[in-house]
Amino acid sequence: MQYIYLHGFASSPNSNKARYIEQHFAENKINLRIPDLNNNDFSHLTITRQVKQVTAYFDNVELPVTLIGFSLGGLTAVHLGEKHPIVKRLILLAPAFGFLSHWLAKLGEEKIQRWKQEKYLMVYHYREKRELPLSYEFLKDATQYSEEILKRPIPTLILHGKNDEVIPIEASRDFARQRPWVKLVELDSDHSLGDVLPQIWQEIQSFCWNYFEFKFET
């Protein structure tokens, strides 16, 4: 089994979650690959670009893949799992289901229109610790990634904070309710999940090595 971690929006492979999970995989003598989804050009980031970037890894592996994704990385992971049979399991941390409706509501119509007119929106990047321009193409591209098309019955674990202020937990509840192959674990945390990392690791261990209750082919 190959393991790949997809970091969140405006983040990096050096995020606390990525490094924590990588360290614990390493302690179990398992390599966790963490691609940099910024791809040296955050300003022209799109979900489609992320999907293509990760898909390139699949061409070079023979073993099945488990994808672990946080927030926008989680949304990217589930769409990759829909299209690629090599992906056998998904672990989604606060996946960004319906993120456009949540994010755009916070931006406000005036800011969205200015983004469209000026072509770029300044967005705070957590690795760079400063604002960087993000192309309006990101928004246009994201509109095609709907949860409604996600029908492949792939074993999926979702870990989501009950106090998530970015992506309400109802988004994951709705997703899991319609898909019996999804296990949702609700955590006493916010969107970052930074205060429940030991619990996250326990759930990942249980899912990857002990949780074999799915009775269908993927």
Q: What is the DSSP string of the chain?
A: -EEEEE--TT--TTSHHHHHHHHHHHHTT--EE---TTTT-GGG--HHHHHHHHHHHHTT--S-EEEEEETHHHHHHHHHHHH-TTEEEEEEES--TTHHHHHHHHH-HHHHHHHHHHSEEEEEETTTTEEEEEETHHHHHHTT--GGG------EEEEEETT-SSS-HHHHHHHHHT-TTEEEEEESS-SS-TT-HHHHHHHHHIIIII-----S--
Global pTM exceeds 0.85 = yes
Residue 61: the pLDDT is: 73
Residue 59: the pLDDT is: 78
Half-sphere exposure (Cβ direction) of 104: Cα atoms closer than 13 Å: 16
- Say which residues have a Cβ less than 8 Å from residue 157's Cβ, sequence separation at least 6: 89, 90, 91, 92, 182, 183, 185, 203, 204, 207, 211
Q: How far, in Å, CA of 84 to CA of 129, rounded?
A: 35
Torsion sign across C-alpha atoms 16, 20, 96, 120: positive
Residue 115: the pLDDT is: 96
Q: Along the 218 residues of the chain, how does pLDDT read in single tens digits?
A: 999 999 999 999 999 999 999 999 999 999 999 999 999 999 999 999 999 999 998 877 778 999 999 999 999 999 999 999 999 999 999 999 999 989 888 899 999 999 999 999 999 999 999 999 999 999 999 999 999 999 999 999 999 999 999 999 999 999 999 999 999 999 999 999 999 999 999 999 999 986 444 433 33
Q: How far, in Å, CA of 168 to CA of 165, rounded?
A: 6
We find that the CATH architecture of domain 2-210 is 3-Layer(aba) Sandwich (3.40)
Residue 89: the pLDDT is: 97
Q: How far, in Å, CA of 15 to CA of 126, rounded?
A: 9
Residue 184, beta-bridge partner list: 158
